Amino acid sequence: MIYGNAALKDTGSQQSDAPILFRRPRSEDGHSVWELISATAALDDNSSYCNLLQCSHFASTCAVAERDGAIVGWLSGYVPPDREDTLFVWQVCVGSQARGQGVASRLIGAVLARPSSSRIRYVECTITQQNTASWRLFGSVARTLRTQLSKAEYFRKDIHFKGTHDSELAVTIGPFRREQVAALKA
């Protein structure tokens, strides 16, 4: 999912006090999402077509954070076909101008709070060992949901990436009670 704690490639964005709206993505958001991810050095780039599919076919398990009409945060996720009770979080990305304001946590909360997520009791993702921001984010999510976080080796550097990418650990948060989800939206 992510390579580390590298800084955003862009640097020019201004802070704003305008409210942030959390909502399902629309297909028209796909290219802006692609631009946000492309500007974030820490994240794997995807094709814009991939982001278009996420914003359309997978909209119910993805979310955007919008401020002043601009996409400042993004979460892509899906429910693995054989695990209906799980939200797998693929990427979380918050623009530099919106970090440190709970946007990433609220993106996760926004997806979990939807009626379509009523069966979800676990959040999963994969994280490289050295990605401190991700460990902190998902550790915080587990604490807020008042449940445990477990990790296990998953995609290995030697076997799955032929040495080109650090190993990804599978992280599982849960089970959590639905009532706790509201705490992530605060």
169 binds ligand COA, rule: CB under 6 A: no
Instruction: Determine phi and psi for 49, rounding to 5 degrees.
Output: -65, -40
User: Cβ 125 to ligand COA, closest distance in Å?
Assistant: 6
| Per-residue buried b or exposed e for 36-71, using 16+ beta carbons within 10 Å of the residue's own CB | bbbbbebbeebebebbbbbbeeebbbbbbbbbeebb
Nearer of residues 108 and 120 to ligand COA, judged by Cβ: 108
User: Cβ 44 to ligand COA, closest distance in Å?
Assistant: 10
Asked if 85 contacts 120 with a C-beta cutoff of 8 angstroms, the reply is yes
Asked if 132 contacts 107 with a C-beta cutoff of 8 angstroms, the reply is no
Q: How far apart are CA 176 and CA 143, in angstroms?
A: 10
Nearer of residues 30 and 95 to ligand COA, judged by Cβ: 95
Smallest Cα–Cα separation from 61: which of 5, 99, 22, 117?
Answer: 117
Nearer of residues 2 and 173 to ligand COA, judged by Cβ: 2
Nearer of residues 92 and 173 to ligand COA, judged by Cβ: 92
Nearer of residues 43 and 173 to ligand COA, judged by Cβ: 43
Q: Which residues from 87-146 bind ligand COA, rule CB under 6 A?
A: 92-94, 99-105, 132-134, 136-137, 140
Q: How far apart are CA 58 and CA 54, in angstroms?
A: 5
How many amino acids of this chain bind ligand COA (CB under 6 A)?
A: 20
Q: Interface mask (CB under 6 A) for ligand COA, residues 39-58, using x and -?
A: -x-xx---------------
User: Cβ 137 to ligand COA, closest distance in Å?
Assistant: 4
Q: How far apart are CA 112 and CA 178, in angstroms?
A: 9
User: Cβ 51 to ligand COA, closest distance in Å?
Assistant: 15
Alpha helices by DSSP H, 92-159 = 103-112, 132-144
> Which residue ranges make up the site for ligand COA (CB under 6 A)?
2, 40, 42-43, 92-94, 99-105, 132-134, 136-137, 140
